[in-house]
Amino acid sequence: MIKTTLARLQQKHRTTRYPDGPPPSLPDRYRGRPVIAAGACPEGCRQCADECPTGAITLEGSVGLDLGKCLFCARCEAVCPAQAIRFGRDHQLAASRREDLVLGPEGARLAVELSDRLRRLLGRSLKLRVVSAGGCNACEADTNVLSTVGWDLGRFGIQFVASPRHADGLLITGPVTAAMRPALRKTWEAVPEPKIVIAVGACAISGGPFLGHAEQHDGAASTVPVDLHIPGCPPHPLTILDGLLRLLGRIPEPEAGG
């Protein structure tokens, strides 16, 4: 007993005060939301698009970068001769609509909160069932970490539950492998209405590195309707938390992109 108490004192209180206080610091070399400079591209240059492992970059007039496919490897930034793409430090990436993930020079459109009715129902108690459908265990791990004492997701009324019957929605990781598709569908059907679906990570949004493989289905939207997309490979826990809180309307005003 005395040892347990002493250990408890030594470990201290470590839960982040975010969002009431400042967010936990991001790593110095963190690659957050990319910023695209308008009109910077040299004529006919395609180096970024050719280098991108998932084909996230389109070059029609200006650079378009699909955050849903982006692995945040920053190869595009490294090869660009004109600094037209630069990875910034903004961790806020979640979007409600798939098309809002395509980033141009004008910046991003962040996730909007749930309808009033859903927010009344779920805003103070959101139970999620996590389904990994081909995830590599990175998105799973950084989702799981939100339940540790450092983040304490429970204080927002958000909790990961063991059964879809207890859940208000699904949090899906992975590109949806062929073998997991029926299980994902059944799990979704087992969640009572009204329900929401959150896709976490490049795989769950677009298939990620596995995009186009015959063994998977290019993400969760192939199988169930998705209400929130949280990009990254994997997204930083702060990005996942931001997405969840944004959905519940717990983050007051979206900050300006940058």
Partner 1 sequence: MSAHLGNGESIALGDLPVLSVAALRDEVIGGVARGRRLAAYFGAGRRGDALRVVAVVAGDDDGELLACAADVSGSYDALTPDCPQAHWFERELAEQWGVEPRGHPWLKPIRRIPDAFFRVDGEEVHEVAVGPVHAGVIEPGHFRFQCHGEEVLHLEIALGYQHRGVERALVGGPDRRTLAYMETLAGDTTIGHALAHALVREALGGGGAPPRALAIAGIALELERLANHIGDLGALAGDVGFLPTAAYCGRIRGDVLNATAQLCGNRFGRGLVRPYGLDHDVDDALREDLQRRLAAARQDFAVADRLLWDSPSVMARFEGTGLLSLDVCDEIGLVGPAARACGAERDVRQNHPHGIYRFVHIPICTWPTGDVFGRAHVRSIEVQRSFAFIQELLDSLPGGPVALERPAPPAADRLAVALVEGWRGEICHVALTGADGRFARYKVVDPSFHNWFGLALAMRGQQISDFPLCNKSFNLSYCGHDL
Binding site for partner 1 (CB under 8 A): 3-4, 7-8, 10-11, 14, 27-31, 50-54, 71-75, 129-145, 147-150, 160, 162-163, 174-175, 177-180, 183, 187, 208-210, 213-216, 233-234, 236
CB of 241 to partner 1, least distance (A): 13
Nearest residue to 204 via CA among 219, 190, 186, 191: 219
CB of 30 to partner 1, least distance (A): 5
What are 197's two structure tokens? Answer: 């679906």
CB of 112 to partner 1, least distance (A): 26
CB 204 within 8 A of CB 172: yes
Considering beta carbons, is residue 38 or 179 the nearer one to partner 1? Answer: 179
- Per-residue exposure over 103-115, b if at least 16 CB sit within 10 Å of its own CB, e if not: beeeebbbbbbbe
Considering beta carbons, is residue 59 or 138 the nearer one to partner 1? Answer: 138
Q: How far is CA 144 from the centre of its chain?
A: 13
Residue 229, helix vs strand vs coil: strand
CB of 164 to partner 1, least distance (A): 8
Considering beta carbons, is residue 118 or 167 the nearer one to partner 1? Answer: 167
Considering beta carbons, is residue 31 or 250 the nearer one to partner 1? Answer: 31
Cα–Cα distance measured from residue 40 to residue 117, given in angstroms and rounded to the nearest whole number: 45
CB of 106 to partner 1, least distance (A): 25
Considering beta carbons, is residue 62 or 144 the nearer one to partner 1? Answer: 144
CB of 89 to partner 1, least distance (A): 10
Considering beta carbons, is residue 22 or 27 the nearer one to partner 1? Answer: 27
Instruction: Give the HSE-up count for residue 100: Cα atoms under 13 Å, Cβ half-sphere.
Output: 14
What is the phi/psi pair of residue 150, to 5°? -65, -30
- Which ranges constitute the DSSP H helices of 68-115? 75-79
Residue 193, helix vs strand vs coil: coil
